[in-house]
A and B are shown apart, each in its own frame.
Chain A
Amino acid sequence: MGMERPPTGHDVELAASAAAGDRQAYGELVRRHGSTVRGLLRRLGADSASADDLAQDAFMTGFEQVADYRGEGTFGAWIKKIAARLYLKKVRRDARLIFSDNAEPVEEVMVRDASGDAASRIDLDEALKALSRGERLCVSLCYGADWSHAEAAEALNIPIGTVKSHVKRGLDKLRAKLARPEEGARREAHG
C-alpha cells in the first residue's frame, strides 16, 4: 500500500470535495487554517485549552455546514466567522461578556513563536494584552475575523456606537504600544 498524498488544490475545490464527504480534503483545510483559527480565538481572549476546544468545534461545525460555503469570500474568513460565533456563544454562556471602560488584566494566552521570525505578530499579541476585554473582543472581531462594526454589534448585542468606541480606544492603545519599538529604533538611529 503506497503512502497517501495530501489533497491539493484551491480551498474552494477542497471545500467542494469535503461537501461530498471527502474527509481528507477537509483535513487539508484544517491543516491550512488551523493555526489561524486557534490564533484568532486566543486573540479574542480564550485561554489556550478553550481556544483549541473551540477551534475543533468550529472545524466540526464547518464540516457539517461546508456545503453552504460556495466560495464567496475566502474559506479562512468563513471558518473564522464560525469560530468567533462559537466563542461569543461560550462567553455569553459563561456570563463573562462584560463591557467596561476599565482595562482588565488579560490572561497570558499567546503561544510564543520559538523561531522568533514573526516579531510583528508577537508585538501584536503583547499589545493586545493592554486592551480591556471589550476592546480586545471588538478589535479582534473587526480586524481578526473581518467582521463589520454592525455585525459585531449584532453578535454582541450592544449598540454599534459602543463597538466603534471600543474599536477606537483599542486602536489608540495598540498604536501606542506598537509604535514604541519603532520610535525606540528611530531614536537609536538618530542618537
Chain B
Amino acid sequence: MAEPDFEAQLSRMFAEPPSFPDAALFNAEMAAKLDRGWAMRRMFIGAAGVAAGLIAAFQILSTRFSSEVSQLSKSSSHSFETEISAGVAKFNAVLTTPSSAEAVWLAAGLAVVAIAFFVTRVVEDF
C-alpha cells in the first residue's frame, strides 16, 4: 500500500468516532456541569453587583467627606482639634443636608437593586 493511501486510511480510521455505551450518561453529566457553571456565573455576577453597589456607596460618602475636610483646611485657620471637630460636624451635616441625603439614598437604592438582582438570579437557578 502506498504511503499517502495508508495515511489517508489512517486519518479516516481516526475520524471514526468510537461508540461508547455510556454516551448518554456522559452527555447528561456534561449538561449538568454546564448548568452548574451557568448558575455559578450568575451568582458571581450577582455578588459582583452587590459588591460594586456597596463600594460605590462608600466611595460617594468618602469623596464628599474628604472634599468637605479639604475645604475646611483651606478656608480656616482653626486649630487641628477644631478642624477635626468641625470635620466631624461637617460629616454629620453631609448626611443630613438634602443633596447629600439624596446621594446616600441613591447609593442605597443601587445596592438594594443589586441585591434584588442577585436574589432573583439565585431563586431562578435553585
Contact = CB atoms under 8 A, between A and B. Distances in A.
Interface string B1-33: 101001100110110111111010011011101
Contacts of A114: 19, 21
A76 to B, nearest CB: 9
Tell me what chain B mostly uses at the interface: helix, strand, loop, or mixed. Answer: helix
A174 B14 CA distance: 12
B6 A175 contact: yes
Contacts of A174: 10
A139 B23 CA distance: 25
B6 A124 contact: no
B34 interface: yes
Interface residues of A, number: 40
A162 interface: no
27 contacts: A21-B38, A23-B38, A27-B27, A27-B31, A30-B30, A34-B20, A34-B26, A35-B19, A35-B23, A38-B26, A39-B17, A43-B14, A55-B26, A56-B30, A110-B18, A111-B19, A118-B19, A121-B13, A121-B18, A123-B13, A124-B10, A124-B14, A140-B14, A143-B11, A171-B3, A171-B10, A174-B10
Shortest Cβ-Cβ A-B pairs, 4 listed: A39-B18, A144-B14, A35-B17, A36-B17
Interface of A: 21, 23, 26-27, 30-31, 33-36, 38-40, 42-43, 52, 55-56, 59-60, 63, 110-111, 113-115, 118, 120-121, 123-125, 139-140, 143-144, 171, 174-175, 179
Interface of B: 1, 3, 6-7, 10-11, 13-14, 16-21, 23, 26-27, 29-31, 33-35, 37-38
Given A38-B20, A63-B34, A124-B13, 17 more contacts: A21-B38, A23-B31, A23-B34, A26-B34, A35-B17, A39-B18, A56-B30, A111-B21, A114-B19, A118-B18, A120-B13, A123-B13, A124-B14, A139-B10, A143-B11, A171-B6, A171-B7
